[in-house]
Amino acid sequence: MGVNFLIPWLLAGAALIAVPIIIHLILRRKPKHLLFPAFRYLQQRSRTNLQKLRLRHLLLLALRMLLIVFMCLALARPLLVGGPEQLAMDHPLAVVLVFDTSPSMEYEHEGQSRLDEAKEIGLRFVEYLPTDSEVAIVDTGEPGVRFTTPRDAASLIRTRRIRPLSQPVTASLEEVYRHLEKEPPELPVVLVVFSDRTAASWNQDAVNAVVKAARQRAVSKLGSEIPSLYLDLGPTEPRNAAITGLSLKRAEQDQPTALEDLPTGTSNRRPILQATVQITGASVDTDVTLWMDGRLVDTKRLVVSCQPGQTVTEAVTFAPLDFPAEPPNQVHQGEVRLKSRDLLPADNLRYYTLSVQERKVLIIADRPNEARDWQDVLESIDQLPLTCVASAPRDIPATLHPDQYVFVCLVNVAEPSPVLWENLTRYLNAGGSIIIMPGEDCRADAYNSPEALAVMPARLVRKADVPSPGSALAPTDYNHPILAPFKFWERPRLPGLVFRHWQVEVLSGASQVVLPFSHRSEDKPEPEPAILERVPDPNKPQGRVVLFTTPLYRPRKDWNTIWDSWTCVGLTFATARHLVGARDERQNFTLKDDVRFWLPQGSGATAYSLSGPETAVGEIRPGQSQLVITEAQRPGNYRVAIGDSWQRHFSVNLPALETVLAQQRPSVADLEGLLGANTVFQADQAPELSELTRDKLGQRPSVELLPWLMVAVLLVLALEGFVANRFYRQERQPVENTA
């Protein structure tokens, strides 16, 4: 047990116990002298009187001293606290309040947003705390954990606002646990989370991988468990209409492609834009409007009846957009809006950027007309529009750069010169990609020179014929991007037979076999490679070389029948998309994507400017090849520029998962698996912080002893008066009879 005092300095009054001692010494009574006829009776009576008087005075002295002590204790107001495993209710705490400030917390219920309700409860918690407590306000939209006073914490709570670029709650919890492990506070720790339990707010994979381990380390460092409380502020029956995505179609019958999955530009000047609208628990009758370049382009009516708890997804297809033929490279920005405002306005519009641009591919061949078949295949890919330029080796530009050609194809060039290889090496180092298809006319020594091996994934050994009935392409790993589109096939062989190919010696290091043949040569236990890839720098996404050991064009001799099957178009599309993606410049992003663009060659620029919902000026370092935009932290349409010579337009939107309110929510079991049992509560059923600390930390209310001490003072005072009257009462003298 323990005792605290509200006014401890009054205990100094206990020194007054010396007063009755002094009075006792000064005013003590003398024994009365009695005359007796017999002296022995006199001595006996004297000893008896002395003993009685001494005991009476000591008892009276003790009562008066005890009275003074009780009065001093009562005036000091002692508080009785719990045992050794308990804390007083007014004991200071270290409280961590985690606020989810993601856009879904803007949802309004009874005229109040989820974040406003969280702030209201948080302020109530802080007001409960003793003044010498410590509080950390953690915001999912801001990194960092720092403890401060309850007064400053209340000010920080009032300034919380919705932040479009916000991390999951689990990421903030990991930050909290790492901080507690690194800088453990000396006070008992309590953790409270304010969130709406949407799918975007909780990453269970991260919890299993790192957050649980971080929590265990923090608990070990603190030496005790961390009492936690998760307040679920999400609506029980949400009602919302959200534009969750925009996609593009080349024609009415085509499958739409999400804008975020499209590389830069489209070759179609009349693309069709389609909006995906998700309705949850509400009936909707509103207009969906399409705006482009600041003007209304099209309006569609959306009428959906949706029951509470039900989610319906509708596709709204607009009329084809009309892009003029001139100028050749156009950029158009706009948005799609829901006309009616609902309880969550953040997802009622979505931005887009579209452009009409051409991607050029350079085909190098000794006889460009012989590469016509390969050119036709490349230009027939509707999902990835390409324009090919065929040229003889002597006619290619002195310098090649990815800004000119998205990739370069070397098709059956008999003897590439060292100058050509050096040109290709510079192109590769600048971020370009290369396809090499040696054919019947090629000489191995021209592909094995030191200049060539700076580019080639393998050495060419010799042309080899495959015994009848031929060989097939036999995928072993569908994880590579070139083979990923064939995963649905899931068969040991791709259509088409190979009768002739180049045997190669794979260069160790940066080269890998993407696709092998089904046959093996007599002197090699491993299957012969059909497709190889070289990535000069694995740390950079650009710069790849793909080598086909049997050509995908129609050769003069029968090398294979792949040309006659859908495998040819499939491999061509997959390879081209893989290489274009290496230097991809998207125009449509979500807030959590990396926004990056390739800088122009030799620009010498030192700064860039960003305009849009966020404005900024940034620095460009010497030799920097890519520009990464980190300032675009709000949805909207943006423009980044380097002076007047270079610019890019792009759009940023909320992730679709951010405003999914009713589906894919993390279960209570998932939350309690990290925070502990009985930690998840609805906001209207949330316990007070005092209840949490009482149940989890063993806090008990302090008992004030003043009433009991006052009773004790009265009892001692009454007893002292009784004893004093009893002891000092004068004995009645006998009356002499004079008659």
pLDDT in tens, 617-667: 999 988 788 899 999 999 999 999 998 888 999 999 999 998 888 888 999
Fold topology of 360-582 = Rossmann fold (3.40.50)
Residue 241: per-residue pLDDT: 93
Domain 94-231+668-697 identical in fold to domain 240-357:
no
Residue pair 432/543 in contact by the 8 Å Cβ criterion: yes
Residue 83: per-residue pLDDT: 42
**Terminal-residue alpha carbon distance, the chain:** 73
What are the residues whose beta carbons fall under 8 Å from the beta carbon of 483, sequence distance 6 or more?
A: 475, 477, 514, 515, 574
Residue boundaries of the structural domains of the chain: 2-81+703-728, 94-231+668-697, 240-357, 360-582, 588-656
Residue 545: per-residue pLDDT: 95
Does 94-231+668-697 carry CATH code 3.40.50.410?
yes
The Cα diameter of the chain in Å comes to: 171
Kind plus residue range of the DSSP H or E element containing 278: strand 272-280
Cα distance between residue 510 and residue 500, in whole Å = 26
Superfamily of domain 588-656: Immunoglobulins (2.60.40.10)
Cα distance between residue 96 and residue 147, in whole Å = 8
pLDDT averaged per 10 residues in sequence order, the chain, 739 residues = 55 61 58 52 56 66 74 70 48 91 93 93 89 93 92 95 94 96 91 94 94 95 90 91 91 85 71 93 93 94 89 93 72 93 92 85 90 86 81 89 89 94 91 92 94 94 90 88 81 87 87 89 79 81 87 78 85 88 83 88 83 94 87 95 89 92 90 92 76 59 66 77 68 49
Residue 731: per-residue pLDDT: 46
- Cβ atoms within 10 A of the Cβ of 615, count? 10
Residue 230: per-residue pLDDT: 94
Residue 615: per-residue pLDDT: 95
Residue pair 595/650 in contact by the 8 Å Cβ criterion: yes
Map residue 232 onto helix, strand or coil. Answer: strand
Question: 240-357 maps to which CATH number?
Answer: 2.60.40.10
Q: DSSP letters along 531-587, please?
A: EEEE-S-TTSS---EEEESS-SS--SS--BSGGGSHHHHHHHHHHHHHHHHHT---S
